[in-house]
Amino acid sequence: MARQPSYSDERLMAAVAAARSWRGVLRELGLSATSASAIRSVRRSADRLGLDYTHFSGQRRWTDSELAAAISSSVTWREVVEKVGLTDPSSQVTLKGHAARLGIETDHLNKRPAPPSSVGPAMHADPRHLGRSGAMLAAGWFALCGYDVSWPLEPCRYDLLVTSANQIHRVQVKTATVRTGAS
């Protein structure tokens, strides 16, 4: 026989409306917020009552419906990242995973814009592109210093191979756009 919950349906309705995650619901109900079985039980009760919890975002800054709206109204993944309030371009991977889990159509975001017909004075460096260009910048620097640079053919634990004085060095490139103190 199933155990009766220690909370009423009304308390559960209020907790789901007030919280932004299942752990938040558990806290609202005065239950242990670390128990996976408690989360499953509370979620089953919420489903039984037909409660809407699409506003849950957990530690995310956006809800599933906000992500869906951002994707449908954008033409690039960078736009989606900005619309959900993120700043790191590498967040695209996380957003793509959530979109796939939710079954959101994203084919329109994969199209690359046509390259500009002319390169002129309007070009400027944008730190949001640093993650994509970091390995190329490092390779250019090593080449300018007289090293031979090689790229792995398949994804590896390193980004570049650099040869100097008959020695081969693996190079992992990391980029950042945040300053802390003098670094």
pLDDT tens, 114-128?
666 666 666 777 777
Cα 44 from Cα 19, distance rounded (Å): 16
Nearest-CA neighbor of 135 among 164, 167, 158, 166? Answer: 158
User: Has residue 4 got a pLDDT over 80?
Assistant: no
Answer for the pair 138, 160: CB distance below 8 angstroms, yes or no. Answer: yes
Residue 73: band (very low, low, confident or very high) from pLDDT cuts 50, 70, 90: very high
Q: What is the average per-residue pLDDT within 153-163?
A: 85
Kind and range of the H or E run holding 15:
helix 9-18
User: Does residue 110 carry a pLDDT above 60?
Assistant: yes
pLDDT band at 50 (very low <50, low <70, confident <90, very high): very high
Mean pLDDT across the chain, nearest whole number? 82
| Contact indicator for 41, 5 with CB cutoff of 8 Å | yes
E-only strand ranges, 56-164: 148-150, 160-164
Specify the 3-state DSSP secondary structure of 136. helix
Beta strands in the chain (DSSP E): 148-150, 160-164, 167-171
Q: Who has greater pLDDT, 141 or 165?
A: 141
The model's pTM = 0.38
Q: Reply yes or no on whether the pLDDT at 99 is more than 80.
A: yes
What pLDDT is recorded for position 98?
Answer: 82
Non-local (6+) Cβ contacts of 66 within 8 A are 57, 84
Are 70 and 62 in contact, with CB atoms under 8 Å apart?
Answer: yes
In the chain, % of residues over pLDDT 70: 87
Express each pLDDT in 144-154 by its tens digit: 888 899 988 88
The span from the CA of 67 to the CA of 25, in Å, is 22
Residue type, 111: K
